[in-house]
Amino acid sequence: MPPRRSHNQLPFTLSGTANLTSVHQTGNGPEVLKLCRLRYAGYANQWGFAIYRASHDGYEDSFLPTGVMSGPAEDALDTACGLYLNDPTAWI
C-alpha cells in the first residue's frame, strides 16, 4: 500500500445523508469542484467509491487503484484528488 497523501492544505466540504457523503473541494473563490461520493459499507475503513463525472453531472461507481470498489476513505480521496487536482502520483 502506498503512503497516504496529505490533503490538509486543501479545503474540503462534505455533504450527504446517513450512508452517502459527497466530497467537494472548495477554493478561495465561489467555485466548488465536485470530487467523489463515498458510500458507507458497514465498517469505518470500508467505503464504496464513486467518482464525479462532470460530463454527466453525476457520480459513477468506480474502482480504486487497488483494483477494488471499496476501501478506506483516504484511498478514495487520493484517487479523486489525483484525477481532478492533477496529482498522478496518487495512483503509484
Q: What is the pLDDT of residue 51?
A: 93
d(C-alpha 77, C-alpha 92), whole Å: 14
Single out the residue of 11, 50, 25, 81 nearest to residue 90, CA to CA.
Answer: 81
Helix (H, G, I), strand (E, B) or coil at 38: strand
CA-CA distances (angstroms) from residue 44 to 35, 47, 60, 62, 82? Answer: 20, 8, 22, 19, 23
User: For each successive 10 residues of the chain (92 residues), what is the average pLDDT?
Assistant: 51 79 77 87 92 92 92 89 76 60
Q: What is the pLDDT of residue 69?
A: 92
